[in-house]
Amino acid sequence: MNRITRLAYLGAIYLFFYFPILILIIYSFNDSAYSMVWHGTSTQWYRELVKDTDLQVIALHSLTVGVLAATFATIMGTLTAVALYRYNFTGKKLLRALIFILIVSPDIVMAISLLILFSTLKISLGFWTLLLSHITFCIPFVVVTVFSRMVGFDRNIFEAARDLGATDFQIFRRIFVPMLWPAIIAGWLLSFTLSLDDVIISYFVTGPDYQILPLQIFSMVRLGVTPEVNALCSVMFGLTLIIVFSAQFVLRKKQ
C-alpha cells in the first residue's frame, strides 16, 4: 500500500465515525419543526432545552448519579489496583479474572442480575439501585486504568518508605496517590462518562420516579423525533468531548 491509499483509508473510516455526528449537530441548529428539511440556522432548540424544566431535573439526576458513582468507584477501584499491585493474597488471580469478566460481560446480563438482586432484597427501584449499579460497573474500568499506570513503578520506593517507618496507609496516601494522580483523575472521568451514557443497565434498575438523560433520550427517539433531541444529543456529545480531552490531557502529562 502506498501512502496515498493508506491516508485515504484512514480518512474514509474517520469520515464514517464523524459524518453522522456532524449531521446531528448541524440539524440541531435547523430552524424547522420537521427536522429533516433545512430552514436556516436557529438556536431555537437550544433555547427550548434550557426552558424545559422537566429535562433540567432529569439532567440533574444524571449528573448526581454520575458524580457520586464516579467518586465511589474511583476510591474503591484505586484501593483495589494498589492492593493487586502490592499484596499477595489468596484469590488474587480470581479477583483479577472477576474484574476482567465484568468488563467483557454483556451489559444486559449485569442489568438483569442486579434487577433480580434488588427485587429479591425488596429494594424499590430508583436513585439507590441506580447508584449501586453504576458504582459496580465503573469499578473494573478504574482498576484497569489505575493498574496500567503502575507497570514500571520502582518498587524500591515503597521498600524505602517502609524502612523509614511509614505505615501502609501512609504509603498509599503519600506515595501511591500522588504518583497515580493522573490515572485516578482519568479513571474518575471515564467512570463519569460511563455513568452518564449507560442505557442498558439503567433501563432495568431505575424506577419511573428517577429518570436519567440516556433513558429520556431513548424514549424521545422512540416516540418520534422532536428537534429538541438533536440539541440535547449535541450537548451530550460536546460534554463527552470535553471529558475525553481532559482525561487524555492528564494521562499524557509527565508520563
Partner 1 sequence: MNINRRFQYFSIGLIWVWLGIFACIPILLVLATSLLSHNVDTDFIQLHLTLQNYIALIDTVYLKIFLHSFYLSGTVTILCLVLGYPFAYILARMDEKIRGILLLLVIIPFWTSSLIRTYAIVILLKAKGILNAFLIYLGFIHQPLQLLYTNTAVLIGLVYTLLPFMILPLYANIEKLDTELLDAARDLGASRLRMFFKIILPLTWPGILAGCMLVFLPAMSMFYIPDLLGGAKSMLVGNLIEDQFLAAHNWPSGAAVSIMLTLLMGLLLGIYWYTASVDTKNKKEPTFL
Residue located via cell numbers 442486579 = 114
Grid coordinates standing for 71? 467518586
CB of 52 to partner 1, least distance (A): 18
Q: Give the CA angle between residues 204, 208, 212 to the nearest 5°.
A: 75
Binding span for partner 1 by CB under 8 A among 49-57, 58-66, 146-154, 178-186: 146-154
- List beta partners, residue 30: 41
Which residue among 29, 147, 158, 188 contacts partner 1 (CB under 8 A)? Answer: 147
Q: Of the two residues 52 and 197, which places its CB atom closer to partner 1 in the complex? A: 197
Exposure string (b/e) for 144-154, b if CB count within 10 Å is 16 or more? Answer: bbbbebbeeee
Pick from 100, 108, 65: nearest CA to 211 = 65
Q: How many residues bind partner 1 (CB under 8 A)?
A: 87
Which residue among 66, 182, 187, 214 contacts partner 1 (CB under 8 A)? Answer: 214
- Residue 142 makes contact with partner 1 by CB under 8 A: no
Pick from 71, 56, 77, 216: nearest CA to 131 = 71
- Note the residue count of the chain: 255
For partner 1, the binding residues in 41-70 under the rule CB under 8 A are none
Which residue among 113, 126, 153, 179 contacts partner 1 (CB under 8 A)? Answer: 113
Each residue 73-112 as x (binds partner 1 by CB under 8 A) or -, in order, gives: ---x--xx-xx--xx-x-x---xx-xxxxx-xxxxxxx-x
CB of 150 to partner 1, least distance (A): 10
Q: Of the two residues 51 and 222, which places its CB atom closer to partner 1 in the complex? A: 222
Which residue among 190, 206, 211, 231 contacts partner 1 (CB under 8 A)? Answer: 190
CB of 244 to partner 1, least distance (A): 5
Q: Of the two residues 49 and 114, which places its CB atom closer to partner 1 in the complex? A: 114
DSSP string, 220-242: HHHT---HHHHHHHHHHHHHHHH
Amino acid, res. 84: L
Cβ-contact 186, 144 below 8 angstroms: no
Q: Of the two residues 44 and 86, which places its CB atom closer to partner 1 in the complex? A: 86
Classified as helix, coil or strand, 99 is helix
